[in-house]
Amino acid sequence: MSKPILQTIATFRASLLRIAPAKMLLLGYLSYMLIGWALLSMPFAQEVAVSALDTLFIATSAVSTTGLVTVDPGGSFTFAGEVIILLLIQIGGLGYMTIGSFTVLAVQQRISGLRTHAVKHAFNLPDDIKPAVFLRAVILFTVLCEALGATALYFIFVNNGVEDALWSAIFHAVSAFCTAGFSLFSTSFEAFRADAGLNIVISVLSLLGAMGFLIVVDSWRTLTGQTSHLGFTSKVIVRVTLWFLLIGTLIVGLADSTIAALPASERWLAAFFQTMTASTTVGFNTHPFSSLTPAVLMIIFFLMIFGASPAGTGGGLKTTAFAALVGLVRSTLKGRERIRFFKREVPIVKLQSATAGLAFYCTLLLIAMFILLLTETGAAFEVVMFEVISAMGTVGLSMGITGDLSDIGKIVIIVLMTAGRVGILTFGIAFAAADETREEEQDNELIL
C-alpha cells in the first residue's frame, strides 16, 4: 500500500479509538438499520407497496428485536424480504459487535483492543470473563438453541397444518431466541393458545435469550470447574427472573377476568405465556392484550420495564437494575450506609447506573408520551403508555395502535426502539459523550 493510504487508515483507526464505546454502539446499530431499510425498500423484497417510513420502521424494529410492526410482515414482504428481516433480527439479537468481532476472531484468532473494549461495554461483562471466550460461547449457544427450537417447532407446525412449516419454524425460532416477537402469523400465536408444546418451546427459547449469554458462560465455567459457583450477577438474574415469572403468572391468572374465564387447561398456560412474553420482552402473545384489565396491565408495564437481563437479547432497564434499586431502597429505609442485595454489597457504580438509567428512562417516557398524546388524539392514555413502554423495552406488544400511528408517531417509536436496543442509559451516554468531546475541543481552542 502507498504511504497516503496507510496514513488514512491509521488516522481512521485513531479516530475510532477516540469514539466513546456508547457512541460506537449507537452508530453501529444505526448503520445496520439503514442498510436494512435500503434492502427492504427494494422491489424484490416487497409483496405489496410499502412506504419508506414503514420499511424504516420494520428495519428498526427488526434490528432492535422489538417486533412492533406498522404492516403485516407475512403479507407485505416476499420470501426474500422475510429473509432480510430474519437476518436483521439475528444481527440485532446477537449484537452487531458480536457478529463483527466473532468474524475477526475466526479469521485472525484474536480481536483488537478496540473491539475488546466495545464488547465488554456492550455486554457489561465482568473483568474475569474474557471477551474472546464469551464471543465463541455466544455464537455456539445461539446456533444450538435456534436449531433445536426450529426442529421442535417444525413438528408442531406440521401437526397443525401450517403452510411452509420449515420456514415458519426457522423464522419463529430465531425470532423467539432473539426476543424479537416478529411473527408470520397476523395474530401472533393466539391460534396456539391451548398448544402446550408450542407454548413451552417458545417460552424456553425466549427465556434463554432474555436471561443473557452471561448466564451461559458463567454456568459453563462452573460446570467445567473453572469457578466453584455462579457469579453474583448470574444468581441475581436467575432469582429475580423466577420471582417475576411466578408472581406475574399468579396475578395475571387470578386478576384478569378474560383469562380467568378460559378453560382450566388454558388458563394458567395463557397466564404464564403473557407474563413470560412481557418479562423476556419477546413480544409474542397467545391472548389479546387489548382485552386485559387495567390492573393486570400495570403488572405487564412493570415486567416490560425490568424483565430482561444484561448481556441478553431483551430491552428495558434489566433485572440487575431492579435488584440494585431494591437494595438501595431497603438500605435507605433501614438507615444503613451500605447497600446490600442477597447479602452482598452492591458496588456504587451499579447503583449509579441503575438510578441514572431509571431517571433517563422516565425522561424519555415523559417526552414520548407528551408527543404521542398530541399526535395520536384518538388513542387512550393507557394505550399510548403501553406502546411507549413496549418500544423502550423492545417488547413488541401492542394494544392495537401501531398500524394507525401518524408519521410523527412512527418516528417517535423508531427513536424509542433504537434507544431500547442500544440500552436506555447507553443511548443517553452516547449523546453526552459527543457533547463532552465538543466541549473539550472548544476548551482547547480557547487555550490556543
Helix axes 381-392, 407-422, angle to 10 degrees: 40
pLDDT at residue 238 in the model: 84
* Residue labelled with grid coordinates 480481536: 111
pLDDT at residue 33 in the model: 93
In a domain, 367, yes or no: yes
User: Phi/psi of residue 231, each to 5°?
Assistant: -70, 165
pLDDT at residue 104 in the model: 39
pLDDT at residue 406 in the model: 95
pLDDT at residue 8 in the model: 59
In a domain, 51, yes or no: yes
In a domain, 117, yes or no: yes
Which domain range does residue 301 map to? 20-436
Report the chain's terminal Cα–Cα distance, integer Å: 36
The string over 108-122, giving b where at least 16 C-beta atoms fall within 10 Å of a residue's C-beta and e elsewhere, is: eeebeeebbebbbbb
Query: Would you call 319 exposed, middle or buried from its count of C-beta atoms within 10 A (0-12, 13-18, 19+)?
Result: buried
Is 70:405 a contact under the CB 8 Å cutoff? yes
In a domain, 100, yes or no: yes
In a domain, 442, yes or no: no
pLDDT at residue 102 in the model: 41
Cα distance between residue 286 and residue 267, in whole Å: 11
Task: Annotate 226-295 with DSSP letters as a single string.
Answer: SSSS--HHHHHHHHHHHHHHHHHHHHHHHH-HHHHTS-HHHHHHHHHHHHHHHHTT----SS-GGGS-HH
Cα distance between residue 307 and residue 66, in whole Å: 14
Considering the entire predicted model, what is its pTM? 0.84
pLDDT at residue 199 in the model: 96
Cα distance between residue 307 and residue 282, in whole Å: 10
In a domain, 348, yes or no: yes
Cα distance between residue 111 and residue 395, in whole Å: 32
Torsion of Cα atoms, 26 then 108 then 208 then 282, to 10°: 30
Enumerate the H helices of 127-195 as residue ranges.
Answer: 131-159, 165-177
Cα distance between residue 87 and residue 3, in whole Å: 38
What's the helix, strand, coil split of the chain in %, to 5? 75, 0, 25
Residue 305: partners with Cβ closer than 8 Å, 6 or more residues away: 316, 317, 361, 389, 392, 393
pLDDT at residue 443 in the model: 41
pLDDT at residue 47 in the model: 92
User: Which pLDDT tens digits describe the chain residue by residue (448 residues)?
Assistant: 556 655 655 554 555 455 667 777 788 889 889 999 999 999 999 999 999 999 999 999 999 989 899 998 888 999 999 999 999 998 887 764 444 444 433 434 454 555 555 555 555 555 555 666 667 777 788 889 999 999 999 999 999 999 899 999 999 999 999 888 899 998 899 999 999 999 999 999 998 888 766 777 777 777 766 676 777 777 888 888 899 999 999 999 999 999 999 998 899 999 999 999 999 888 899 999 888 999 999 999 999 998 777 766 677 788 888 888 888 888 888 888 788 777 777 788 888 888 988 999 999 999 999 999 999 988 999 999 999 999 999 898 999 899 999 999 999 999 999 998 888 888 888 777 654 444 444 443 333 3
Cα distance between residue 375 and residue 440, in whole Å: 38
**3-state class (DSSP) for residue 344:** strand
Q: How many domains does the chain have?
A: 1
In a domain, 25, yes or no: yes
189-220 pLDDT tens trace = 999 999 999 999 999 999 888 876 677 777 77
pLDDT at residue 313 in the model: 66
Is 374:360 a contact under the CB 8 Å cutoff? no
In a domain, 189, yes or no: yes
pLDDT at residue 438 in the model: 45
Q: Which amino acid is at 76?
A: S
